[in-house]
Each structure stands twice: as structure tokens, then as C-alpha cells.
Structure 1
């Protein structure tokens, strides 16, 4: 962060400072953390009261590990650490981020904030843009999907006097949330990827989602630039907000930055022709899988070109960037329970658009072999999609039908043995599969243990199996992906007496 003292931080957040030694007020703060395990020497530990854990319980520990101060909503009497007391530590965290960014802008050296939003693709676009810009100058971007009122300020507070670019991912579940984030960190470039139906149940309508995403464009000042998806009818009207200070990206005629001639290989990686304004068209070979990532790469390339990168350099970075944030079309191979199979882990979250994109990737997967006799057995392990509003059952049935229409060989829908709604939505997926002509194998399971066993059984009977994991966080599929990544022990089974047994059949 831009260094400030404990006293300056207290003044910034209008907090009451409690110190045992007056000299402590002048201690410099070098970092801001919300995890006490990261609260080393010179850190400001922000205590946040969460649903399951209250950070105030760890203030004393932060003091013992050398924290410069703690930001709290009530004084912790037995903690030997300076404390800044405020009404709301999350709001105070945002004020710190705002002040730090203002200090960076006042430093007088070039500094650009790029804000990214959209119903899908934010994190992958952020990852690709970070890779592109980091090849040119010091760049800060969030870890994973740190895009809310805690994660975004924490990321912004990593900016220091050497930072040239800040890539800021901004998400929302309600109107006004992106406006709040941009009030803390105003973007110089605003990227809008797509307006879909993610969080439709919270927003109430696609029109409200459009309004929410447009808040990032409204935050631009008179010199700001919007980078907009020319192929999305809900995005294109946002150009009027900024008097057409826009760079358009897409695959259609309205795009200035354009991707065309998209081809997919057997590993679901795209090759396409990239045409940037004023540059000769160039072939790009994406190192990450997923046809949908062509648009994400195009958005990132458009920003990088605007900031001075050549098409040749952009193509080179995109061809090398094979890793992105976890649980996003991550491909691996696994030997488990006597079965060998390929895993496509896209389990971070799900909505109808991203679910179809994942299924498209599974459908297109042929692996390294072009031999038709080695066509993989394609298994979709799908969880529920949340916050979709009144038509959630129909949308889940539609996903099941889509999987069947693609010719997916098996669909396993993962419900819940303790959440009736999650279980019902998973059942809707299976209903959709079975409603199709020539429906494939389809099975409803009620937990990830049963999903684990079912996948192993299918893979053992079908060589060259490839398995897609896709669902909302609540479905537990990211936990299954982590279990597979670590190759943890198989889940226990029940013996004839109903007692839990190990994989060797011994009673627990």
C-alpha cells in the first residue's frame, strides 16, 4: 500500500485511536490484511465479524505476531496492539483503499485503473489482462474472485508507488454495489463483458442487471474509456453514458477489436485470428481451454492494445498463459479407485451461460487422439445454479436438455441430503435430460461422496472418460475438485449393518 502511519489511518477512517505508547501512533503500516495469520510486522489487521468467524477473536494474536495496529468495531481489552475503533470495519477498509489510491494518483507518475465487470468471465479476463500488463510494467490484480466490498479494497491496498496498473474486478448481487466499489476506486478504463442472468433472483430482471453493470461505466470521468462487448445487446446501450468514448470488441461487424475464424482442438483450446485497430491480423493460440474464453481473451487484448502492447506481444503472452484462477476450466488427469479419467474442473460457480459454455467444452473434448475409436466417454457432473428467480426450475431442466442434445454420455446431478431446494434443482436437471430423445445415462445423487463413487464406476467401465465439474459453490463440487486434486481417500461406504466402513470394509 501507499505507506501511512497508524495515526494517519485512524484519521482517514474517522476512527478513535487507542494506544498504550504514544510513539505507536507514528508506526508505519506496510500492508492491510483480514486474516490474522498474515498479520506480520507492520500490518494493519482488519477484524471483520463474519457469519461463522469473528475476526475480533484474533486481534490479540495479530498483536503477538507484530501487527502495527488492528481495525476493530469495539475495543479488545486484552490485546497488546494499537486499535483503531470504528462503527463498521468493512466500510473503514474501503476508506483506506480509497485514500491509498488517491495517494498513488497524487504521486505524479503514470498509473491506470482498469475495472472489469460482467455476468460471466470477469475472473478469467482479469487473469489474462494481468498476464498481459505484467509483461510490460508492475501490475496488481486480485487473487481469485476478490471482487466485493472486502476483496476489492484489499486488492487496491496492494498498490504502492511502483505500481503502474491496477486491474480491479467488480461484482454485484444488487443495484448500487458496483457504484459503491467505483466510489472507492474509480476506473480509468471500464470493461463490460456480458449481461446475463447470473443473480437474476436477486436483481429481479435482466434490465436491473444491465443497470448494475452500467454503474462501472457511469463512474468514468471525462477522460475515461469504456471497453464494451459489441455483440451483447444489453451492453451496447452503455456507450451513450460516455458519449461514445468506447472501444468495441467482439466477433460481429460492430467490433473494432475482433476475433474471427475460431477453431478448437481436441483439448478444447482455441485458435483464432485477432484483428486490432491499426495492426495486421495475427493468429492467437490460447493456452487455456474453452471456446468462451476467446471473448475474454479478446477483451483483455483490447485493453492491452489500448495501453500500448503490440498484437505480436499480446499473442505471445496469451499463448503462454496456461494457468488462471482455480476451478475455471482447469484440466488434469486422475487415477482413482482403479479408474483413470480426465477432469475439467469448472466448479467455481455456475449460471445458465457458464453452464452451457462448460458443456460445450466437454462436448468438444477429444483429447490428444484423433482416432474416432478413442472418442472419450463424456461425463457431466452438474450442481444447482442459485439466484435465478422464479424460473429456476425451468432453467435447470433446460440445462439437462442441453446436455442431452449435445450428446453428453452421462449426466450426474448433485443435490443435497440436507438442503431440499438444492436437491430439487438437481432433480430438475435430470428431468431435463430424460425429457430428450435418446436420453443418455442420468443419475441424481444427494452428496459429493456419491458423485465421487458414481464417476469412478463409470470411468472404470469406460476408458478415455473425461469428467466436467460444474455447479454453484453451494453444490460442493469445488470441494470435490479439491479432493480429487489432492487425491484424498475414497469416501467411506456403509456395511450391511449400516455402520460406516473404510474403503477396506473395516468398521469405523
Structure 2
């Protein structure tokens, strides 16, 4: 079962010694160095009795302004960069983000020291991390107490917060590890060294930050080099960049995939892949024991077959029978928000099916989302009217305009009926990227086999809302894909429609 667990109990003096900070207890505060803390948060609204409130100074909000609120909620201590005038014990450190990571590392070491089984699974890749994490949390949660991040808590703040939910009874920790720069995943693996490291895919997400695909490979491979002693690497055999990481693995390597012989011969693989009318995949799962198991996923998206294979590889390695793997994956119908979430929207006299995949976007996930849109209702007598609402993709480097044109062209050529490219009135660059999507769709209207979608270039979520409602009113049986980076505002539009 996945749980909201508490960390290993620690006294304030232990915490202060661990993070190298100075413990300050203002006069009149009941805390002592032996006061015990059992949880840690960075949001003062979430802190409770015996909690550690970590005050982080962000671009817009400074957590130090909320230490008083944390005190009112019964927090045991605040981790601060400077003492705050508040009736609460405080541990003063030079850098609260670094201290958070150090505390999380100590928490994992404390759990490892217990004489009971404990396994950390680390997941990285340019796409699919969160969905694979959700699948794996469901699988492992059926075998023992499992801690997994909420949403995409996969950076220098999110991963430590997840690691600080590990307590004495935790059997599995699923640690999602993301990166914008070389060295970030290496740092995360020092906090929670994985016993099993999963690498899904190397794409061009964050290419603008890394500078080259080779640097992305270097960054993702840090999870393999950061394996704990005796650790196992589970790699996507179909992605040569990922497969190349096997040379850096300190120990055993396992494979998953649908094409490469390494996965087909001795790993977890899939054959007879198909989808139903709601784009829910079905396939035959082959496992290293020779079993062939029919699997139907409870979530939609053909691309999720690879994510399911990665999760199944881990579960099988940890002792779950293939038939049980299939049962759990079929029963998983809801994952983290804004990831291929399907609903029906009634708005402005229109009704349409919404596929909300608006959490984030890069060229690979854009194409996967569009493939999912095209698979929706395939084979039915009356084809749905397919609308692709596409926002900007960020951090793609100097070639970002052409990459956006390529997505627009792909959308048009794969057969969508309408493209709505969403920019931003307050951000000229976002608007230019959306214009490039529209240009790409128009480019597909020329040539030997021209595509003929309706194309709208709009400049904010309100205009996108109006365009979709108009199209849905004009065309019955509409299905709408929302896909874009978070800054595009499409996830907010999805929440508006849900309300």
C-alpha cells in the first residue's frame, strides 16, 4: 500500500548535528534538544505536530515569512537560514535547501541501518518518469508499505521531501529523479542511492539547458553510476542512448523493450500491442521466466506500454508474479493529474471528451499525445472530431521554433481535424512558439498529400477555451487533447473545465 508515512523519529539535537546547524530555542518555548520530530515539509500549511518546517527562500515567496504560522500549527522546529522572531525552536544553517538534502540522506541511512528489508527504486528519463512512478507505486504498494512522490517531486527539493517520508516500516521507496543540468541526478543519488535504477528514454527535453543530447545522456547516466552496492540497472533496450549506459553499470543489467533482441530474449517485452476504442493499450507481456501474460492497462496511451514494461521489470525482479502484475496495471485507472486524464466536459452548449495531458511537453511527448488522440475512437463507424490544443514547449535551445513547426506539421499529417496553437499575450516568446506550431500545421497543407485541418492561433487560455467550445458545438462527437508545458496555462484551462 502506498502511504503518507512519517520519517525516522529524530531529536532536535540529532537534526542540528546532522545538518551542521545551530539550535536556538527562544525563551518561553517548551521545546528542548530532546524534543522529537517525525515529519518534514516546506509548506507551512502542511506542517503539523512534531513537524520540521524547512524555510526556503524562493523567487516569489520566502518561507521565513511563514515560520510564525508553522509555530501556530505545532511544528517542533524550523530549519532557517537566519533566525526569525517567532515562538519556535530553530536550527540555523547556511543553506536550507542543502540542509534539507542532508537531512533526507540521514533519514535514508537511518532506515537502511534497521535489520528489515528496504529497497529504493530510482527512475529517470526525458519522458514517462511520473507515469512509470505511478505504475510502480501501485505495483509495489500491493506488496508492502511504499513511499512515492506526489506528482513530479523529482528535484533537489521534491526528492528529499519524499525521502523524508520513509519511516521504520517503509518497505519500498520509489524515487523519481529529474535534471536540468549535469550533476543534479548525481546529487540526488547521494541522498537516496537506488538499489534498482530505471532509465526510460533520452530525448530533447531541456536541450536548451544541457546544450547537447550527449550532455543529456551524461546527466541521465548518473543514476546508473549512483547505484548502491549490488544495485541493478534496468534499461530501455530500444533506445540506443539508454542502452549505452550498460557499460557504466557497476553490476547486473536487465532490459525492457519491444524491438531489441536483448529485451525480447531475456527481459520484459511486449508483443501483440493494440488499443481499444478508448486508447487503452493491451499487449502480451513476456517476462524472463518465459511466461506470456495478457495485460490490459487501465490508463490510455499506447506510449504507456513502454512505461508499463519498465514498471513490470522492477516488480518482477522484486518477486511479483506476472499475472499479478497484469491485475494491478489493469486496476490502475487514475495517475498523477494532467497526464492523459480522460473526462467529459459540458460547456457553453457544447459537450466533448477531454484528454488532459497538459502537465508538461517536449517533442517526444507531444507526438505520443497526438498518437493517443488519433487512436481515440479508431475503428468506430463514426470517427470523432479530433482537436489538438497545443501549447509551447520550453528549454529546447536555439532550434525551438523549428521543433514547434515540426509538432504542428506532425499534428496535421497524422490526421487531426483541428489544431489550436496557444500562445501568451504577456510573453512574446510563448506567442512566437505557438505561431510556429500553427505555421507547421499550415506547412502540412502543401505537398503531394496535403493535410486539411482547421488551424487557430490564439493568444491565451480564454481564447483557446472559446475556440474549443466553438469547434465542439459545430462538430459532434469531439475529442480534445490538451498538451503543453505548464507555463502555457493549459493545465489551468483543464482545471477550469473540470470545475
Normalised TM-score (structure 2): 0.95
**Alignment check: 8 A CA contact 1:338 1:460 kept:** yes
The 5-angstrom pairing of residues 260-409 of structure 1 reads 260-366=271-377, 371-372=380-381, 374-409=382-417
Structure 1 position 48 matched with structure 2 position 56: yes
Give the gaps of 5 or more residues in structure 1: 487-508
**Alignment check: 8 A CA contact 1:225 1:246 kept:** yes
String of CA shifts for 1:116-146, please: whole Å, max 9, x gaps.
0000000000000000000010000000000
**Alignment check: 8 A CA contact 1:32 1:45 kept:** yes
Question: For the residues of structure 1 that align with 2:454 and 2:93, how far apart are their CA atoms?
Answer: 57
Question: For the residues of structure 2 that align with 1:327 and 1:377, how far apart are their CA atoms?
Answer: 21
Question: For the residues of structure 1 that align with 2:73 and 2:203, how far apart are their CA atoms?
Answer: 45
1:504 aligns to what?
A: none
User: SS where residue 390 of structure 1 aligns?
Assistant: coil
2:433 aligns to what?
A: 425
Structure 1 position 202 matched with structure 2 position 203: no
Give the gaps of 5 or more residues in structure 2: 1-6, 445-449
How many residues end up aligned between the 2 structures? 482
Q: Report the CA distance between 1:6 and its aligned residue.
A: 1.1
Structure 1 position 181 matched with structure 2 position 160: no
User: SS where residue 425 of structure 2 aligns?
Assistant: coil
Question: For the residues of structure 2 that align with 1:113 and 1:325, how far apart are their CA atoms?
Answer: 20
CA pair 157-244 structure 1, distance change in 2 beyond 3 A: closer
Once the two structures are overlaid, the 10-residue window that deviates more, 251-260 or 417-426, is: 251-260
**Alignment check: 8 A CA contact 2:227 2:250 kept:** no
**Alignment check: 8 A CA contact 2:31 2:89 kept:** no
1:3 aligns to what?
A: 9
User: SS where residue 399 of structure 2 aligns?
Assistant: helix
Structure 1 position 444 matched with structure 2 position 463: no
String of CA shifts for 1:264-316, please: whole Å, max 9, x gaps.
11101000000001142011000100000000000000000000000010000
Question: For the residues of structure 1 that align with 2:416 and 2:340, how far apart are their CA atoms?
Answer: 17
2:478 aligns to what?
A: 465
**Alignment check: 8 A CA contact 2:424 2:459 kept:** yes
The 5-angstrom pairing of residues 188-267 of structure 1 reads 188-242=195-249, 245-252=252-259, 253-255=261-263, 256-267=267-278
Question: For the residues of structure 1 that align with 2:302 and 2:81, how far apart are their CA atoms?
Answer: 47
Q: Report the CA distance between 1:22 and its aligned residue.
A: 7.8
Q: Report the CA distance between 1:222 and its aligned residue.
A: 3.7
**Alignment check: 8 A CA contact 2:415 2:451 kept:** no
Normalised TM-score (structure 1): 0.94
